[in-house]
Amino acid sequence: MSNEYVLEMRNVHKSFPGVKALKGVNLTIKKGSVHALMGENGAGKSTLMKILYGIFHPEEGEVIFKGKPYEVKSPIDAINKGISMIPQEISPCPNLTVASNVFLGKELTAKRGVKLLNQKQMVEETQILFDDLGIDIDPSVMMSEISIANAQLVAIATAVSYNADLVIMDEPTSALTEKEIDKLYDIIRDLRDKKKIAVIYISHKLEEVFTICDEVSVLRDGEYIGTDVIENFDKDRLISMMVGRSMDEFFHKEDAKIGDVLLEVKDLNLSRKFKNISFKLRQGEVLGLAGLMGAGRTEVMEALFGYIPPESGEIFIHGEKVEIKEPIDAIKHGIAFVTEDRKLTGIFPELSIKDNMIMPDIDSYLKTGLLDSKKINENCQSQREAIAIKTPT
């Protein structure tokens, strides 16, 4: 392994029941660099990083870290060897303080006969860390009292606090505002330029990759496609490597026929969330709803779906006024909703994929009071093929 590389992963394989997630993947990361790991959903990016972080274990392959063979059985092993990670889905402890979350697993104790947590020192050291990173959050407040965006910043600070040689950032900006993203860039540049720490940066946002990254590696369908310096990429080349076809094929645009007004919203209001929201949506049209975080975009959609009923306003579908007081009303009127937090509010994680797929329209699968298994299997298989859902079987 060359001295310029902090990490080298060679011929890494990983399978799950019915799915070959990684097929001989290679990855090399230079010391003190920001390295983007790109690929579509299901390409294997998170799986590869979870192997590096000790969550999954490879069936085949070799990992070299800081010039030595690298084997870990858990995230604690990875942290102790110099690798930290900001996961795609953070899992803070809401009933602990911000400082206690930062020091989770490495708690400071008072120097007395009985080992008591030294909350004062943890708060003080967390404040020093936050000041160094430019993060304006009170370390003494409960995690449950801060926003999702601030919880993301706490996760970033926690990963940095381990004094790692390599930090993995998996979709770190998913909950951040533009201002907070700029702050993250400053943190990353400080890690790279001053502390000579390497960063593996996973993102679907191409503008972020071109802004902050030095090199890019691409995975597709569990296979390694290639690596190059960022200067040799443009958006067309990067997307083509990710999807496996030219941009002309990928972005072939067809003229859409715009029809009559399908949905009309008039003067929708909800206290401290949004006011006087009005818009029209026509058949065949894609309508964008833009605004900064906290502007009320999500709440308007939740109100339209009956999740949080508005206090006033009118909703018309095909010109007829409708009452939507709960989600079942919206579903009956042909409205579907993909939630912001898919894992928390968009699925039933304890149920099967098939059960989740039929849930919005479960009554249509009833036959003499029982679920029609044949119809369920046929329809779910058809939907799976239509939108390329990856499942074990």
Q: What are the tens digits of pLDDT across the range 350-360?
A: 899 999 999 88
Task: Kindly state the average pLDDT of the residues 11-17.
Answer: 94
Same-domain pairing of 392 and 244 = no
**pLDDT exceeds cutoff 90 at 291:** no
Task: Kindly state the average pLDDT of the residues 369-380.
Answer: 90
Q: What whole-number distance in Å separates Cα of residue 222 and Cα of residue 44?
A: 5
Backbone CA torsion sign across 194, 195, 196, 202: negative
The pTM of the whole model exceeds 0.85: no
Q: Is residue 320 part of a domain?
A: yes
Q: Is residue 202 part of a domain?
A: yes
Model confidence over 317-349: pLDDT tens digits?
999 999 999 999 999 999 999 887 777 788 898
Same-domain pairing of 315 and 278 = yes
Residue 249, pLDDT score: 58
Alpha helices in 251-372 (DSSP H): 297-304, 327-332, 353-358
Residue 14's DSSP bridge partners are: 22
54-68 burial, b if ≥16 CB within 10 A, otherwise e?
bbbebeebebbbeee
Confidence band of 246 (pLDDT split at 50, 70, 90)? low
Residue 149, pLDDT score: 82
Q: Is residue 122 part of a domain?
A: yes
Same-domain pairing of 378 and 289 = no
CB atoms within 10 A of CB 261: 14
Q: Which of 112-116, 190-194, 216-220, 367-371 has the lowest mean pLDDT?
A: 112-116
> In the chain, what is the straight-line distance between the N-terminal and C-terminal CA atoms, in Å?
39
Same-domain pairing of 187 and 69 = yes
* Pair type for strands 83-86 and 166-170: parallel
Q: Look at residue 51 and give its three-state secondary structure.
A: helix
Q: What whole-number distance in Å separates Cα of residue 8 and Cα of residue 2?
A: 9
Q: Please, are residues 9 and 63 in contact by the beta-carbon 8 Å criterion?
A: yes
For 91-150, the DSSP string reads ---TTSBHHHHHTTTS--B-SSSS--B-HHHHHHHHHHHHHHHT----TTSBGGGS-HHH
**pLDDT exceeds cutoff 80 at 390:** no
Q: Is residue 147 part of a domain?
A: no
Backbone CA torsion sign across 359, 363, 364, 367: positive
Same-domain pairing of 211 and 357 = no
For 53-92, the DSSP string reads TTSS--SEEEEEETTEE---SSHHHHHHHTEEEE-SS---
Confidence band of 276 (pLDDT split at 50, 70, 90)? very high
Same-domain pairing of 59 and 184 = yes
Residue 344, pLDDT score: 76
Same-domain pairing of 183 and 64 = yes
Task: Kindly state the average pLDDT of the residues 288-292.
Answer: 85
Task: Kindly state the average pLDDT of the residues 214-231.
Answer: 96
Residue 333 burial (10 A CB sphere; 0-12, 13-18, 19+): middle
207-225 burial, b if ≥16 CB within 10 A, otherwise e?
ebbbebbbbbbbbbebbbb
Q: Please, are residues 181 and 208 in contact by the beta-carbon 8 Å criterion?
A: yes
Chain centroid to Cα 66, Å, comes to: 28
Confidence band of 197 (pLDDT split at 50, 70, 90)? very high
Same-domain pairing of 261 and 295 = yes
**pLDDT exceeds cutoff 70 at 112:** no
Q: What whole-number distance in Å separates Cα of residue 182 and Cα of residue 208?
A: 10
Q: Which of 12-26, 79-93, 104-118 has the lowest mean pLDDT?
A: 104-118
Same-domain pairing of 213 and 282 = no
Residue 388, pLDDT score: 79
Question: Which of 233, 250, 267 marks a domain boundary?
Answer: 250
> What does pLDDT average to over the chain?
89
Q: Is residue 393 part of a domain?
A: yes
Residue 148, pLDDT score: 82
**pLDDT exceeds cutoff 90 at 290:** no
Q: Is residue 12 part of a domain?
A: yes
Q: What whole-number distance in Å separates Cα of residue 51 and Cα of residue 14?
A: 9
Residue 393, pLDDT score: 53
Confidence band of 71 (pLDDT split at 50, 70, 90)? very high
Residue 231, pLDDT score: 96
**Shortest CA distance to 217 belongs to which of 338, 39, 51, 356?**
39
Confidence band of 26 (pLDDT split at 50, 70, 90)? very high
- How many domains are there within the chain? 4
Q: Please, are residues 305 and 327 in contact by the beta-carbon 8 Å criterion?
A: yes
Give the DSSP letter of residue 390.
-
Q: Is residue 370 part of a domain?
A: yes
Contacts for 161 with CB less than 8 Å, ≥ 6 apart: 102, 129
Chain centroid to Cα 349, Å, comes to: 17
CATH of the domain at 85: 3.40.50.300
Question: Which of 250, 283, 315 marks a domain boundary?
Answer: 250
Model confidence over 127-183: pLDDT tens digits?
999 998 889 999 999 999 988 888 888 998 999 899 899 999 998 887 787 888 898
Task: Kindly state the average pLDDT of the residues 209-213.
Answer: 96
* Pair type for strands 19-30 and 5-16: antiparallel
Q: Is residue 39 part of a domain?
A: yes
Same-domain pairing of 169 and 64 = yes
Residue 340 burial (10 A CB sphere; 0-12, 13-18, 19+): middle
- 253-260 — which CB contacts under 8 Å span 24+ positions? 256/284, 256/285, 257/284, 258/282, 258/283, 258/284, 258/285, 259/283, 259/284
Same-domain pairing of 266 and 137 = no
Residue type at position 241: M
Strand order in the sheet with 19-30: 19-30, 5-16, 60-65, 68-69
Residue 335, pLDDT score: 94
Q: What whole-number distance in Å separates Cα of residue 154 and Cα of residue 132?
A: 13
Same-domain pairing of 100 and 177 = no
In terms of residue numbers, what domain contains 233?
A: 5-94+152-250
What is the share, in percent, of the chain residues with pLDDT greater than 90? 61
Residue 252, pLDDT score: 57
Question: Which of 141, 174, 203 marks a domain boundary?
Answer: 141
What is the share, in percent, of the chain residues with pLDDT greater than 70? 95
